């Protein structure tokens, strides 16, 4: 067995010299190097921004969505959506552990894991699509994948159903960052609060801000808003389109008596919501962009354009302990668990 680079550089095909994530194409030959892990894939969890884009491009037709996904993987060696730039993650069973890693890590053949690195850098093959859930973006396949030495993963917790764990782990960076950013007493605005990451963020924000904090949930559609009101974590639930910054500005102004948010967390899965995030936030407050549909220039120039001195953070999908932290949030909150189980089982 040959030894590969810790970060998977040996699999980059083009452009030469880049890393696997930004690379256009990587080598998805399913023969492992001595420091790689081979997985039999069961389920792909396509990133929400990416799945929405593919679904729209294919008019919602499951078969055509599947063909589209296969085309991406055939062309790039990974499920890296060229339009949105994002990936997702997967559940699989360990098939083989390279000889250099065997014994040094806590994985052995037969273990079931979720990958915690993006599909946008994971060598992948799809032999067959066996089931497609157009509502959730969870896609069962026959295929294989490879994890590099630096690749993050989580063993699937036995007591939480797989699909639920997959959904939670996909977005686990968001509640973990919320825990870091939100202080007792803060006013927090969560955009896209009814989605997967939004719901977890809302739950954590309530916990972190405490009883003296003010939590404002923004979600589009009356049904989603009603569900959020039922959960009771938000002090105010606003039914608004986050691509309409002025509407959001006015509503948040009213809800906060003009003070605006200390921390705004963007969990929306569509483009053009940067300005709503910026305008919702007070001067010297923080905007956390978890949404992969965020445009760097729209955020940077948008804030400058309205003379808003806000700190804007790029949603790093990883922070230490994020997987365990998110699964614990689910274990703690029967309500949160119910939301995920009703959606993903």
Binding residues for its own copies (CB under 8 A): 7, 9, 17-22, 84-87, 116-118, 120-121, 150-152, 173, 243-246, 272, 274-275, 289, 292, 294-320
**Residue 187 interface partner, choices ligand NAP, its own copies, none, CB cut-off 5-8 Å depending on type:** none
**Shortest-Cβ-distance residue relative to ligand NAP:** 195
Q: Report d(CA 106, CA 76) in Å as an integer.
A: 30
Q: Name the token pair of 233.
A: 């974590």
**Residue 164 interface partner, choices ligand NAP, its own copies, none, CB cut-off 5-8 Å depending on type:** none
Across the strands, what pairs with 97?
37
Q: Which is nearer to ligand NAP, 150 or 184 (CB)?
A: 150
**Residue 138 interface partner, choices ligand NAP, its own copies, none, CB cut-off 5-8 Å depending on type:** none
**Least distance in Å: CB of 189 to its own copies?**
18
Alpha helices in the chain (DSSP H): 48-57, 62-76, 162-170, 173-181, 196-209, 222-231, 245-255, 274-279, 296-305, 322-332, 334-344
Q: Which is nearer to its own copies, 70 or 322 (CB)?
A: 322
Contact residues for ligand NAP (CB under 6 A)? 47-49, 86, 170-171, 173, 192, 194-198, 218-221, 224, 241-243, 267-270, 290-293, 300, 304, 315, 317
Q: Report d(CA 340, CA 199) in Å as an integer.
A: 9
**Least distance in Å: CB of 63 to its own copies?**
27
**Least distance in Å: CB of 109 to ligand NAP?**
28
**Least distance in Å: CB of 292 to its own copies?**
6
Q: Report d(CA 277, CA 191) in Å as an integer.
A: 8
Q: Report d(CA 238, CA 254) in Å as an integer.
A: 11
Structural contact between residues 276 and 244, judged by C-beta atoms closer than 8 angstroms: yes
User: What is the longest distance spanned by two Cα atoms in the chain?
Assistant: 65
Q: Which is nearer to its own copies, 153 or 233 (CB)?
A: 153
Across the strands, what pairs with 90?
44
């Amino acid at each position: 067995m040959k030894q590969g680079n810790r970060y998977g550089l040996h699999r980059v095909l083009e452009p030469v010299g880049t890393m696997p994530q930004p690379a256009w194409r990587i080598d998805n030959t399913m023969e492992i190097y001595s420091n790689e892990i081979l997985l039999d894939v069961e389920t792909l969890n396509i990133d929400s921004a990416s799945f929405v884009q593919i679904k729209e491009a294919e008019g919602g037709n499951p078969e055509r969505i599947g063909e589209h996904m296969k085309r991406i993987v055939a062309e790039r060696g990974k499920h890296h959506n060229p339009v949105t730039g994002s990936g997702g993650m997967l559940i699989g069973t360990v098939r083989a552990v390279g000889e250099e890693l065997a014994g040094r890590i806590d994985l052995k053949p037969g273990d079931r894991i979720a990958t915690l690195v993006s599909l946008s850098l994971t060598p992948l093959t799809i032999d067959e699509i066996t089931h497609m859930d157009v509502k959730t973006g969870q896609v069962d396949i026959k295929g294989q994948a490879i994890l590099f030495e630096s690749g993050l993963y989580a063993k699937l917790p036995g007591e939480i159903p797989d699909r639920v764990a997959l959904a939670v782990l996909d977005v686990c960076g968001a509640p973990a960052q919320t825990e870091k950013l939100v202080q007792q007493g803060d006013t927090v605005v969560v955009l896209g609060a009814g989605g997967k990451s939004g719901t977890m963020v809302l739950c954590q924000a309530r916990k972190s801000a405490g009883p003296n904090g003010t939590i404002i949930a923004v979600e589009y559609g009356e049904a989603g808003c009603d569900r959020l009101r039922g959960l009771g974590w938000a002090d105010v639930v606003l039914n608004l389109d986050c691509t309409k910054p002025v509407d959001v500005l006015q509503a948040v102004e009213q809800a906060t008596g003009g003070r605006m948010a200390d921390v705004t967390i963007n969990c929306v899965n569509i483009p053009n919501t940067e300005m709503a995030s910026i305008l919702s936030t007070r001067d010297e407050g923080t905007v956390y962009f978890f949404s992969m549909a965020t445009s760097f220039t729209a955020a940077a120039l948008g804030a400058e354009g309205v003379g808003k001195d806000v700190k804007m953070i790029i949603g790093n999908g990883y922070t230490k302990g994020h997987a365990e932290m998110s699964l614990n949030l689910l274990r703690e909150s029967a309500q949160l668990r119910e939301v995920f189980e009703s959606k993903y089982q």
